[in-house]
Each structure stands twice: as C-alpha cells, then as structure tokens.
Amino acid sequence: MPPSRPFGIGPPRIPMNSNCGGKNPSRVTTTGAIKINMNKFRLCLGASTLSAATLAGALLWSPAAGAETLPGTIKAPTQTRAAPMTKPSIPSKVETNGRRVIALGDLHGDLMQTIRALRSAGLVDETGGTWIGGDTILVQVGDILDRGDHELAILRLFRRLTKQAEKVGGAVYVLNGNHEIMNVAGDFRYVTAAAYKEFDQNYAMNENANPKVMQTVDGARRELLRPGSKYARELAHNPTILQVGDTLFAHAGVLPEHVDVGFDKINERVSGWMDGRYSTPPPQVLNESGVVWNRTYGGEPGDMYGPQGACPILRKVLQSTEAKRMVVGHTPQEKGVNSECRGQLWRIDVGQSRGIMGATPEVIEIKGDTVTIIRAKK
C-alpha cells in the first residue's frame, strides 16, 4: 500500500507522453561528472547517455531518462528543518515603464531547449550564458524542475541572467509552479535518474556533506530541497503570482478566490514555507483549484465562453486586478502558444522539454497592447 502524498498536494496526475527516447544520431556515451565552463560559470552535468551540442565550445546534453511512473504517492518529508532565513522580499506587482515583456513557459529540466527559447527572443548571446536583452522584462511561469536532467543548470543560468539583466535595466522573474511545490514537499515522482545525479554531485561538493545522505537515491535531492534548505531558500525568492504592468502571470491561473486572499499573502506564505518559517504551504498551492494546479484555463473540453466557462471567470479576475490579460503555463498546448477569451488569456506551455513533447520552443512578446508569438528556429 503506497504511502500518502505530502500534504495531499494537488490532484492525482496523469503522466504526459514523452518522445525523448527517439533516435539521436549525435548521441555519445560517457561516465561520471562532466564540467563545462560556459562564459566563466560552471555547469556540472552528470549523466550516462549524452548527446553532443555546440554551446560555448561543446555542451553535452542528456535527454530525459525513461518514462514517468504512474500517479503515485510518497511519504511526507521528516528531516530536521534548517534555521529560517531572513524574510525575502517577494514582488506581487511590478511596472513595465515602457519596457517589453517576454513570457516563457514550462522548462522541465531541458537546458538546451531553454537556451533556444531565450535566444529566439533575443535575450541571450550565442553561448546562452550572457544577457543581451537590455531592459527587457523576462517572466518564466514555473516548472523548471522535474522530467528533465539539468534542473540545477537552469537554476544557475537564471540566477546569472537575473544579475546581468539588473545591471542594464532589465529584470528576470521566475515563478513557482506545481513541480517546485512538489519537490520542496519531497514529492519526487517525476525526477529523472540524471537529475538525481546532478543533485548528488552538487551535494558532494559541500565540505560539510554527510555521507549518510548519499546512501539513498533521493538523499541529496531531499537534503537540498527540503523547506529551509539551500535550493528551497532560493525558490523562496520567487513569486507564485506576479502582475507585470497590465499582465497577470501564474503557473496554472488565478481564480477569484485567489484574488480574495490577496497576491501578497499567497506569495509570502509560499515563500515562508519554502524558507522554513512556516510548517506547511498555504492551501492556495495545495488543492485542485490552487494557483499552480487548476486546469480552468488549460483549454480542456468545455464551453470557454458559457456562464460557467473560463472566460467569465477570467473577466472577473482581470476586473478585480485592473489587468488586461493573463498568461499561464501548466497545461501543454499541442498546437503551440495560443490565445482565448478574445485575447485576454494566453497559454504558453508548449511542452518544449524533451521530457514532455520536445516541441519547438515558443515565447510571447508583450509591447503595450500588442502580443506577438515568437517561435525558435529549427
């Protein structure tokens, strides 16, 4: 009998199809840790099967390993919590001040596809490691973790780009998605073998590493992601809901009940749980109608425009927040980025990770009232 899901997080999940096991003529086999210097920052990528790619010389990529498990259940974390950090400042609303905004969907551990998306929007140079986007505001709607092999490499990349963008008047915001919530809670159902190894290598570089932690497959990951730990504290700086000018961003979508609670409160409670100040996450990221879980805006069968449809719900949210549109990820769109509700809803999860569909990356650009879809070159 399987143990219960931590905190009862989210509805039971149906695994996505993965086409990452197809033929790859450039695939090579290697062993151990591979360290690549990419514009003076190091990516430690551990995997057993890798494909060659050109990125700052030679960047080796490992496709997401294997198929996902069926919707399962795991045990809630029981580790001793780290001492709480200083309370981070989490933005709920920022102004554009005339700057363009780029919105990027779910990444799921696929570094190469992430860089393709960023390059398509003119945000990074050819190496993928240097910000050239000027004063652009980049918003990534969550789900960096799971289903892909290079989660920490992507987190490092965004950390680097954030610092570079700030120096030239730009900004980078990464939201928390349901997979960030799941991992901090110890739900590792969608982790690849190479992603476990990436965390193992990161933990092993710590001079205070406990050898006992490495005795289990998920030991290092659990130690680095539990509430109050190294990477949970990093995620604690990310908003869960963010309004940029007149555009509202959330991983799955904002409902009227979330507006009633307040974005500041939801962001603060999620952050406080991640950094160790609160013992449990707020219900707004736990239940089926949660801001990182609901499928209201995902485009599943139903009458979008009817009295009980998504569009009337969206209009109520937008009126309450004085926003013109909402941008969501979470539900992969097989036909690419698309819009509903007369341009008030934009769905940008195209399943670009090779742990999902391996689709060609797409982003949207928002300039004033104009929204443009940008597709990466093949």
Residues designated as active site:
179
Residue type for position 332? P
Cα–Cα dist 87/85, whole Å: 6
Write down the residue that tokens 């399987």 correspond to: 2
Q: Give the number of other Cβ atoms within 10 Å of residue 132's Cβ.
A: 16
Cβ-based neighbours of 219, under 8 Å, separated by 6 or more: 212, 213
Q: Could you tell me the strand order of the sheet in which 241-244 lies?
A: 93-94, 241-244, 247-250, 325-328, 345-347, 338-340
**CA–CA separation, 91 and 76 (whole Å):** 29
The pair of structure tokens assigned to 92 is 């709920």
Q: How many CA atoms lie within 13 A of 197 on its CB side?
A: 19
Cβ neighbourhood burial of 260 (10 Å; 0-12, 13-18, 19+):
exposed
- Joined together, the tokens standing for residue 342 give 């007369």
What tokens appear for 287 in the block? 């239940």
Q: Which residues pair with 247 in a beta bridge?
A: 244, 325
Between CA 299 and CA 302 the distance in angstroms is 8
Phi and psi torsions of 59, nearest 5°? -105, 125
Closest CA to 136 of 376, 324, 340, 374: 374
Kind of pairing, strands 49-53 and 41-46?
unpaired
What is the identity of the amino acid at 281? Answer: P
- The token pair that represents 64 in the structure block: 């997401």
Helical spans, DSSP H, in the chain: 111-120, 151-167, 178-184, 193-204, 219-225, 230-235, 256-261, 263-274, 310-321
d(CA 87, CA 277): 8
